[in-house]
Structure 1
Amino acid sequence: MNGVVCVANRLNRAFSVFPLWPILLGLLSGVFVADHHGINHWIINCVAGGAIVILFRRQTPTMLVAGYLLGYLSHGMVIDQQRAWQHAAESDELSHRCSLTGVVIDTGTAGSGPYLLRAEKIIFPSAQKTQEDLSTKGVRLLLNHDTRDHPIIKYGDLVELDGHLEPIGSLRNPHGFDKARWLHRHGVNLAISTQRPVHITGSSTPHQPVRIMTDWRRHLRQLMTAGLAPDSSEAQLIRAVVLGERPPRPSGMIDDFRNSGTLHVFAVSGLHVGMVGTIIGFFLWFVRVPRWLLISGIILSMAIYAGITGLRPPAVRAVIMATVFLSGFLFHRKPSLINSLAASAIVVLAWDGHQLFTPGFQLSYGVLLALAVASAFWMRIFKPIGEIDAFMPRLLLTPWQERMLNGRKWLRNSLSVSTAAWMGSAPLMWIHFGIITPIAVLASVPLMLMVFFILAMAMLGITVGSMWSPAGETINQVNAIVAKATYGLAGKFADIPGGHWYRTPSRPERGRIVVFDLPYGGGANYLDLGGGIMLDCGRADQFYRHVMTTLSYYGADPDSLIVSHADSKHSGAMSLCLEHYHPKQALIPRTDLLSKSYRKFLSNAENTDCRLIIPRNHQRFEVESGVYLEILHAPIELAGNGRADDSGLVIRLHWHGWKILFMGDAGFITETRLLESGQDLSADVIVTGRNRDDFTGREDFYQAVSPHAIISSNCDFPASERITEHWRDSVKNQGIRVFDQQQSGAVTMTIENGELILTPMLQGSAPLRIGK
């Protein structure tokens, strides 16, 4: 009992020093409860909160209850509105065409999408009941439209359009970017799709300041890299540091910064906002402005910078935090970092409770809390670095020794801050991203100094370049040298052994096969067997978006490639696979096929250590013990070129007693050749695409193969690549389970307890267990 009383007394003392923390803790609880349950029980919560206040009649419980109800009601109303609209869309209540009037509230990092709208009015001409039951004011939507035939859309535009509402699609491939989840945390659960022009009727007055700063952004973007090649690594890094623009595609530079623990330089965050404030503050101090003007100028410059970079949540949080902290100096009060932290978090979460569940929010406040709590501890640990011998009088130091001492003190302070910040970020990085980077403690000291210099030089280049272009370009050239040195140094830190560790999920004992679900009839399969095999890979954009994220999560580094046939939707990214994975060998159908992406791959392969193998019928390739590939159809043995879809490899995988038949996009012609060959075609599972020029799926071919399941792509356009009801019924009548990837998403195959298990990605499709 005494222990409980002691803890309670300590908490009361702590809360008396940091009075905003009870409100924040209550707010966190309220947001968490509302996110899971909405505000269906708001009366019970209010009554219970009032009872607690009356019962205890103390400041701390009262503030806890006030914070809880604030978070519960503010976030709960948002969640209930999102769920109501999402439920209506999923139940086809909103399947009718609608007319929407709204304002553009987000145009993406580069200003070219994705576009988010906030609805002012949504009208359903043929669904009056839905229109009356749902509040349309403030609903946020994702705009899906063809940008080629539509006007340029800017932040703050007032738009009118006709279209259909639909829920955001679920994640279709394992461990990929969950767009639906990401948009949900931006308050968006619906998309509006339109094929008609979007009419821009004007601009929103409240959004005008940010709209103006967005226009500045386009101009500043050009000035800061004037004189540099736009796509050079140096220009990309400068734009990343100043504007938060990540390079358009994954690159070695991003990997180096990630592995050195400094990837946050690629996103405008509190670090960047603080640097801008420091630069402006130093300039205002240099020109001797009054204290009140110096602080006001710092706050204003940080707010403008946040607006120019698109009002990204991390930048907005940093501005709020800095405003609260620096305002104490305006009123001649010593500010408390911990209290300022709580105050800014209260403002942020009361405005948008979704931020609590984002990695950015957790990392921002986790790092700041660690700095506030642990910096002093690490300062004591590193104290000897910044000290001289106790018996050495300071007055006897030479100027050189004095400078060395000041440098050591700076190093001590930097290491203290870096270590405390790493303590706050490391657990969250491991949870959210599966990486831990102890090297960041050392790497952050020089790299953040260099990033500060890049930001300062970019600001100087913009200022000078606005008055005299040649001088601005010269400054940019100098900045490019610093940028090149920065990512070069990041690469050195990334290469230090033990400097970073990735969380690698355990691989099933007998491996796995992932049949990816790619749009537009594309195909890609990853065989997590042996050293890893990439059988087709989709187009380049599909590979980056849908395939590479899965391979990265698995820690995969495939040493073999297979091109089923020369179609850009299946092999368009093979050159990228060469670049990223440096495979030892690749199976190809033949060398005289005409696809441009395929011929580029062949040309690139000749300049690497990747051995090209053209297999023949019945040839076998060992993968590992109990696993081998068998060639059933080899295009090299065909006369002439033929159609691309029917000039491909047909491969049967023998996998610990199970057989998987990979057909590519082979159709009637190839199926006929296989039947006429008289060879054994049996398989447990067929993985197939749809032939764009011919019929796919002869009934007698399936009888010869006798599969338990068929995994098939399904593309609405062109019609030849669409699964027909006739084909579906024919296969079902043969007792074959169809995994239509339009309904199942990606399918993962594993072997467990003597059973072959097919697990679809989407919840609407049930798994299949095949026994011997």
Structure 2
Amino acid sequence: MDRPLLLPFGAFALGLCMDAWLEPAAPAAAALAALALLAWLGLEKSRPWLLPVALAAAGTWHHAAWRIPGPAEIASLAGPEPRLAELRGRLDAVDIGLPDPKHPDGRVPARGSMAVESWREGTRDDQPARGTIRWRLADGRGLGLREGMVVAMSGALAEPAGAVLPGAFDLREHFAVSGIRRELRVEESRDVVVLEAPAGPDPGGRFLAWAHAALGRGLPDDDAARLIRAQALGWKPGLTRELATPFLRAGTLHVFAISGLHIALVAALVVQVLRLFGVGRGWCGCLVIPVAWGYVAATGWQASAVRSAVMATVVAAGWALRRPSDLPNSLAAAAWLIVVFDPSQLFQPGFQLSFAVVAGMAWWTASIESGLARWIAFDPWVPESHWPWWRRWAEPLRRLMLLNLASSLAAWCASAPLVVHYFHLVSPVSLLANLLVVPLSSLCLTANAAALATASWWPWLSEWFNQSAWVWMHGMMWASQRAAELPAGHWYTASPPWPWWIGYVAAMALVARWDTLLIPARRRATAVVAGWLAAAACVWIRGLAESRLVVSAGGEMAFFERGFDSLLVDCGPRGFGDRVALPWLRSRGVDVLDTAVLAVAEARFRGGWDEVAAELPPRRCAVAGRMRSSPRVASRQENLVAGWQSGPWQALWPEPDAPGRRADDLGAVLAGDLGGFRCLLVPALGEAAQRRLARANPAALRADVVIAGIPSHGEPLLPEFLGAVRPRWVIVGCASRPAPHRLTPAARSRLRAGPWRVHFTDEEGWVEIRVRPGHARMETATDRGESTWMGGDE
């Protein structure tokens, strides 16, 4: 059988996906796997098609056994409610951050994972427990935490935070995929007690400290020097957000992950050295394996490095056993080894990108290269003996450029769906940027390897190699920066609907098989794929006519979009813009922000605005009350007073002569008519302003839904104000912390007693309202399966 591992691995992976999507009980999955296995053993004639069924059932059972926590796991013992607890266990991973410049004491945050051995709540005795948790320490100075330590940590044990906005990064789901279902927040370093430290020095830590010093010898402490260590040693603090952004937009950020490029380069250097001494291919394969795993161990066992080492091990084992090499079959074997050991890897973006890129290069490079060669080929009828000298000289270079361009295009096509889905970024400029950055990265890594090899014997030569790597790194930075600045070189986009991806995969499969198809078959396949993509485009265009209004989980911001028009209302406290608002706006495909409204002159609503305005300066910026917007958009600032209008939204408050000394008395009130569905936005309006507006213009306040924040003084949505609005649905943007976002129990009880449906974002998370002609529906973070229809006869 040609490539015998592809189909079995596909069936096993399908079983893993079925359990992740359907979530059956573990006994049911085990029974299905046993039944399929017995049928395969008993029915000899049906074995060819029963084997994939048995493997799919085995994958379902394997993932279910891993997914469902046992009774002794910490997630089952602690329950879903947050609680103060003390946990004891061994540290699996430790990540010490850089000093916090915003904190007056310069605290050093730390985080990592712990294999739990026991836990205690209050004055109870220790109870045995197992499982892995994520821990976060506000200040880790002076503790010397490292992997392998046995520690006791006291803090707040709870589920990781969920998504603040629909489609935003979900920390809870991200950790759950890895089997981590609880997070421990530790506020003080005194709440951490080291019970047992590993015997002897940490070899990995000693090597990294030595390597950091060796790679920094003779270099200035600048960005290029830090990026060199980030690339060669996987040093995460060196790759800051500011430095990573140009590489991300140019599509070259992958060179900083300890991945296939690094492992392949290390293996190639080892093989070349061994071949110089006449070592055979089989022995080269045997020696490459420990060297690759040694590099992985030295750089901290990063997940991307482990995946690449497994792939290299499979290929090198084929050399050692003198087996014929087949890259797709080797990929299937490596992927199977990884998911059997850790089924969560199948759902990790890094795993999917790594294998998709290598598989795309294996399947599509030859087809793309042959197509490109026909476009730029020399006259095929001229024999090689009659070529001019310059053509003989240029032919090897032409073939190398064709191979590199075809490989880059194949990798880009294979990774594009995943990059759009996870990072919401399209960067066609990466096709050209990688042609320059990848060779420079190889030169830089080669210089790093030479610097480390000569650091102890010839320091002067090691410095020369370091300076060479510094030059190559500056070339990588320059190329990525220029590529990121090219017009239309990259843009952000929302992930298209799933029918579009089916058509995309079909188109790529057609490209791979193009040379093997007859002309009539090519025409039929092209027509089918084009028709499918056209239908998917119609579905996407239909969604553009939908109006969407989103309120964040803490009520920090609201966002409205219809087609390519957008309106942002407030932007949360400082840090919210960078961490939440900006990445989420990018995930919606917002490259240009039409209108921004700063509705309340308080830091908890507008502190994150400067962070968003630095990347997405709006065309219009309306400011309520006595405040100024960011200096970046000062020339486009408008005063937001009653009568101001943007699309379907109109300001009802503040009046030009509205009295009030407090910021929430001059906060904006916006009313929008979304296709017959009327919405009222009240970000944070004080009690005096509520009473005056309700008496002055009650007819204009009438709305189907009112969305309100928490004012600094008094309560939101007074009875008099709600009597003028007469809503059917009330959404209150509140949070358990900080205190200004907290809703009092009395106000909560009063709002629950009204004749409307009420939703509190601190209980139900984010809220999204979608309006189409004739009907509207609302979703919350906790009620995503059963949407509430708000149109029609309700």
Fold similarity call, TM over 0.5: yes
Distance of 2:749 and 2:141 partners within structure 1:
39
* Contact 1:169/1:180 (<8 A) preserved: yes
In structure 2, the CA distance between the partners of 1:571 and 1:281, relative to structure 1 (3 Å rule), is farther
Aligned to 1:484: 477
With structure 2 as the length reference, what TM-score do the two structures score?
0.78
Partner SS state of residue 618, structure 2? coil
AA in 1 matched with 2:556: G
Amino acid at match of 1:611: R
**2:9 maps to 1:27:** no
Q: Which residue of the partner structure matches residue 525 of structure 1?
A: 558
How many corresponding residue pairs?
727
After TM superposition, give the deviation of residue 91 of structure 1 in Å: 5.7
* Contact 1:434–1:503 (Cα < 8 Å) also in 2: no
Instruction: Tell me how far 1:297 sits from its aligned partner.
Output: 5.7
Q: CA deviation at 1:366?
A: 2.8
Contact (CA 8 Å) 1:560, 1:585: kept in 2 or not? yes
Change (3 A) 1:146 1:766: farther
* Alignment of 1:146 onto 2:168: no
Residue 783 of structure 2 aligns to a residue whose secondary structure is coil
Pairwise CA distance, 1:290: 7.5
Pairwise CA distance, 1:278: 3.3
CA distance in 2, matches of 1:395, 1:204: 71
Of 683, 686, 689, the match for 1:664: 683
Structure 1 contact 101–121 (Cα < 8 Å) conserved: yes
Shifted more, 359-368 versus 436-445: the winner is 436-445
What's the offset of the Cα at 1:603? 2.9
CA-to-aligned-CA distance 1:286-327 (integer Å, 9 cap, x gap): 688786775566444433443344423222111111122123
Structure 1 residue 745 corresponds to structure 2 residue 765: yes
Contact 1:646/1:666 (<8 A) preserved: yes
> Is the CA contact 2:547–2:772 (under 8 Å) kept in the aligned structure 1?
no
More divergent stretch after superposition (560-569 vs 493-502): 493-502
Change (3 A) 1:255 1:686: farther
Q: Which amino acid aligns with 2:667?
A: G
Given the alignment of the two structures, is residue 107 of structure 1 paired with residue 101 of structure 2, yes or no?
A: no
Whether contact under 8 Å (1:228, 1:477) holds in the other structure is no
Q: From 180, 186, 208, give the equivalent of 1:188.
A: 180
Question: Greater shift after overlay, 349-358 or 573-582?
Answer: 573-582
Moved more, 178-187 or 282-291: 282-291
Determine the C-alpha separation between the residues in 1 that align with 2:696 and 2:289.
78
d(CA) in 2 for partners of 1:237, 1:681: 61
Shift of 1:633: 1.5
Structure 1 distance, partners of 2:336, 2:229, is 33
Match for residue 564 of structure 1 among 568, 575, 599: 599
CA pair 694-552 structure 1, distance change in 2 beyond 3 A: same
CA RMSD of aligned residues (A): 4.4
- Write the distance in 2 (CA, Å) between the matches of 1:406 and 1:743: 65
Match of 1:603 among 628, 631, 634: 631
Deviations 1:711-750 (A, max 9, x none): 2232334555422232122223332332211112222233
Q: Corresponding residue for 1:4?
A: none
Per the TM alignment, residue 497 of structure 1 is displaced from its structure 2 partner at its CA by 9.4
Q: Answer yes or no: is 1:632 the counterpart of 2:653.
A: yes
Long gaps (5+) in structure 2: 99-108, 498-539
Partner Cα separation in structure 1 for residue 217 and residue 565 of structure 2: 45
2:589 is matched with 555
Deviations 1:14-36 (A, max 9, x none): 2xxx4444653453345345543
| Cα distance in structure 2, aligned partners of 1:586 and 1:96 | 43
Alignment map for 1:167-186 (pairs within 5 Å): 167-186=159-178
In structure 2, the CA distance between the partners of 1:615 and 1:185, relative to structure 1 (3 Å rule), is closer
2:113 is aligned to 116
- Mean Cα displacement is larger for which, 572-581 or 277-286? 277-286
Whole-angstrom distance in 1 between the partners of 2:326 and 2:345: 23
CA distance 1:24–1:550, change in 2 (3 Å): same
Does the C-alpha gap of structure 1 residues 404 and 508 become closer, same or farther in structure 2, counting only changes over 3 Å?
closer
Report if aligned partners of 2:226, 2:238 keep a CA contact under 8 Å in 1: no
The correspondence for 1:648, drawn from 663, 667, 681, is 667
Structure 1 residue identity aligned to 2:684: D
Residue 450 of structure 1, aligned match among 422, 426, 440 = 440
Q: How far apart, CA to CA, are the structure 2 residues paired with 1:194 and 1:273?
A: 37
Alignment map for 1:504-523 (pairs within 5 Å): 506=541, 507=543, 509=545, 511-518=547-554, 523=556
Counterpart of 1:329 in structure 2 is 319
Residue pair 2:683, 2:707 contacting (<8 A) in 1 also: yes
Conservation of the 8 A alpha-carbon contact between 2:426 and 2:491? no
* Preserved CA contact (<8 Å) 1:245 1:266: no
User: 5 Å matches for 1:254-293?
Assistant: 254=245, 257-258=248-249, 261-279=251-269, 281-282=271-272
Q: Quick one: which of 408, 411, 420 aligns to 1:418?
A: 408
Are the equivalent residues in 1 in contact too, given 2:698–2:725 (CA < 8 A)? no
Change beyond 3 A, Cα 1:206–1:534: farther
Contact 1:96 1:126 in 2 (8 A): no
| Structure 1 residues 149-228: aligned runs within 5 Å | 151=143, 153-163=145-155, 165-195=157-187, 197-203=191-197, 223=216, 226-228=219-221
Question: 1:270 deviation in Å?
Answer: 1.9
Q: What do the CA deviations read for 1:448-476 (whole angstroms, capped 9, x no partner)?
A: 22332343345556667884697577446
Q: 1:694 to 1:510 in 2, by over 3 A?
A: same
Q: Distance in 1 between matches of 2:613 and 2:726?
A: 36
Distance 1:523 1:541 in 2: 12
Contact 2:671 2:678 (8 Å CA) reproduced: yes
Cα shift at 1:122:
3.6
Specify whether residues 511 and 752 from structure 1 end up closer, same or farther in structure 2 by C-alpha distance, changes over 3 A only. closer
Query: Secondary structure of 1:555's partner?
Result: coil
Residue 177 (structure 1) shift = 0.7
State the secondary structure of the residue aligned to 1:107.
strand
1: CA distance between counterparts of 2:732 and 2:748?
11
Residue 345 (str. 1) matches residue 335 (str. 2): yes
| Cα drift, residue 120 of structure 1 | 2.5
Amino acid at match of 2:192: V
Alpha carbons of structure 1 residues 250 and 552: separation in structure 2 relative to 1, 3 Å: farther
* Separation in structure 2 between the aligned mates of residue 546 and residue 82 of structure 1, nearest angstrom: 34
- Alpha carbons of structure 1 residues 208 and 635: separation in structure 2 relative to 1, 3 Å: farther
Alpha-carbon distance, 1:562 to partner: 1.3
Give, in whole Å, the separation in 2 of the partners of 1:497 and 1:144.
Answer: 35
Q: What TM-score do the two structures reach when normalised by structure 1?
A: 0.80
Partner of 2:780: 760
Q: Report if the CA contact (8 A) 1:156-1:211 is conserved.
A: no
8 Å CA contact 1:337–1:372 kept in 2: the answer is yes
Match of 2:638 in 1: 613
Secondary structure in structure 1 of the residue aligned to 2:68: helix
| Structure 1 pair 173–316 and aligned structure 2 pair: CA distance change class (3 A) | same
